[in-house]
Amino acid sequence: MRILAIIIGLFLILIILQDSFESIVLPRRVSRRFRLSRLFYVSTWVLWSSLARKMRAGNRREVYLSYYGPLSLILMLVVWAAALICAFGLLQWGMSLPMNAPEKEMTLGTYLYMSGTTFITLGLGDVTPLAGVGRFLAVAEAGMGFGFLALIIGYVPIIYQAFSRRESNISLLDARAGSPPSATEMLRRHYRTQRLEELLQFLREWEQWCATLLESHLSYPVLTYYRSQHERQSWLAALTTVLDTCALLLVGFDGLAAPSARFTFAIARHAAVDLAQIYGTPPVTPKLTRLSTADYTRMQGALAEVGLQLEHEEEAEVRLAEIRRMYEPFVNALANHLLVNLPPWISSERTVDDWQTSAWDHF
């Protein structure tokens, strides 16, 4: 039994150190299927989202879902710390290391207590190791505790800096593409005000945003579960809107050249595909298409109102459908997994932008 405890203790220490290193320090995606952090997020999200699916869509559900990201981050750190404490406790108990303790008989609970006070550096001194091996393990565990604390101090600000960078661009979509954002509205607002060069520059900036989104969310997957601060905004909706806009520009408009749309589309699709892969969400083709024939006709009319005419209109719908098949199954899969509503191609009703309202309007 004690030999088994030693093996389990050593195994846990190696697993936790490897998992925390890969999650916090290693700046690249780890493709290995079994990881403690992956198992943690898969299992906890299944439980958390299953309750959310029973709620009515709205502000209450969004608030509930918004707690998962920060809370799961804290719980993951707690799991790592608790596992290391248990691992060292099992290791010391399995080796029957002599201790100076008030109890006459050393139990597993005493070893776990000693391990806990050592890891979090309480230093109470009521239970202390007597042998050289025990002292070595105590020093090693205390060092890991300090290192763990240092990693947390550095890790949490990085997460929130990445979140802040992501959200700043999303907020810009409110005035430029509506709330919720849509590709039709983005093109209408820029073309109506004759700010096409500004639109192309905006797409170049979103090319950089998509690249940053891809790298940050692959390195720190917990960011995916951080919800945006406004109800009708999300990083996935923003990514989808950019893809939709680029898809229309790739189909082409009479008298409008947008070569940069191809590059923005490429990195945006790359982000959608890779993020769907990392969460194990296979592409999904929904039963109800995001752009029905009726909505396509409405979209054509709305764009024509400001002078935007699709090239080769008789073939445009087919070409657009081909481009959509390159990314929509992946964003649909992510939307189903994260319980996020994808933006429409064209709003079914006239909505007011978020910047035009305030919380006081609801009272």
Average pLDDT over residues 177-190: 85
Residue 176 CA to residue 27 CA, distance in Å, equals 34
pLDDT at 254: 77
HSE value, Cβ hemisphere, 13 Å, CA-based, for 260? 14
Among 43-57, 308-322, 324-338, the least confident range: 308-322
Mean pLDDT, range 115-123, rounded to an integer: 84
pLDDT at 362 exceeding the cut of 60: no
Q: Could you report the per-residue pLDDT of 271-301, keeping only the tens digit for each?
A: 999 999 888 888 888 777 888 888 888 998 8
The pLDDT mean for the chain works out to 86
| Cα–chain center distance at 322 | 28
Percent of the chain with pLDDT over 70: 93
For 209-226, the pLDDT digits (tens) are 999 999 999 888 899 999
CB 163 within 8 A of CB 66: no
Percent of the chain with pLDDT over 90: 33
Tens of pLDDT, residue by residue over 239-283, are 999 999 999 999 888 777 777 889 999 999 999 999 998 888 888
How far is residue 226's CA from residue 66's CA, in Å, rounded to a whole number? 6
Between residues 66 and 348, the one the model is more confident about: 66
Q: What confidence category does residue 361 fall into, taking pLDDT thresholds of 50, 70 and 90?
A: low
For the chain, residues classed under CATH 1.10.287.70 are 2-26+33-153
Cis peptide upstream of residue 283 (ω within 30 degrees of 0): no
Confidence of residue 193 (pLDDT cuts 50, 70, 90): low
Both tokens assigned to 96: 């029957």
Strand ranges in the chain using DSSP code E only, listed in sequence order: 99-100, 128-129
CB contact at 8 A, 182 and 344: yes
Could you give the CA distance from residue 362 to residue 220 in angstroms, rounded to a whole number? 36
Q: Which pLDDT value is given to residue 11?
A: 92
Question: What are the b/e assignments for 277-298, b being 16+ CB within 10 Å?
Answer: bbbebebbeeeeebbeeebbeb
Angle (CA) 176 181 187, round 5°: 50
Who has greater pLDDT, 293 or 29? 293
- CATH architecture under which domain 2-26+33-153 falls: Orthogonal Bundle (1.10)
Question: Phi and psi (nearest 5°) for 99?
Answer: -130, 150
pLDDT score for 363: 44
Distance CA 40, CA 99 (A): 34
Residue 336 pLDDT grade (very low, low, confident, very high; cuts 50, 70, 90): very high
Residue 5 carries which side chain, given as an amino acid letter? A
The stretch 31-45 carries a mean pLDDT of: 84
pTM reported for the whole predicted model: 0.86
